[in-house]
Amino acid sequence: MHGENEHTTPSGRSDLAALSKAIDGGSVEALVMLGTNPVFTATGDIDFAAALGKVATSVHLALVKDETSAKSTWFVPAAHFLESWGDYRGEDGTAAIQQPLVAPIFDGINSIEMVAHLL
C-alpha cells in the first residue's frame, strides 16, 4: 500500500534501531532508501539523521525532497504511482496490474526500476 512507512510499526521501529546501531558500528557502507523518510519518522530515541551522516553513500528515492533527502548523498526523484507500471496483490490474494493513468510528470523512476538499476 502506498504511503505506509514500515518503520513506524513496533517491529519496524526495532529494525530502524538495529540499522542505526549497525551504521554506528561501521558495518553499513551504502544505504538505499525507497519512498520512506526515516529521518523524520524515527522515534526520539533514534537519531537517524546523525547515523545517516556516517554512511559513505546514501541514496534516497522519494516523490519530494524531504528531511532524509537533505541528509543523503544522492536524491533520486520517484515516479508517482499514477504514472507507473506495477503489480499488486489484493487482500483476498487476487493479483492485479497497475497501469499508468497519466503521462510522466517529472521523469522519475519507481522502486522496481530503482532496484533494477542497482542490480
- For cell 503521462, the residue is 103
The three cell numbers of residue 3 are: 504511503
Beta strand 74-77 pairing with 86-89:
unpaired
Contact between residue 77 and residue 45 where contact means Cβ atoms under 8 Å apart: no
- Kindly report whether the global pTM for this prediction surpasses the value 0.85: no
Residue 3 is predicted with a pLDDT of 47
CA–CA dist 88, 45 (Å, integer): 35
CA–CA dist 43, 74 (Å, integer): 24
The three cell numbers of residue 92 are: 483476498
- Mean pLDDT (10-residue bins), the chain, 119 residues: 47 83 95 96 93 97 96 96 89 93 88 93
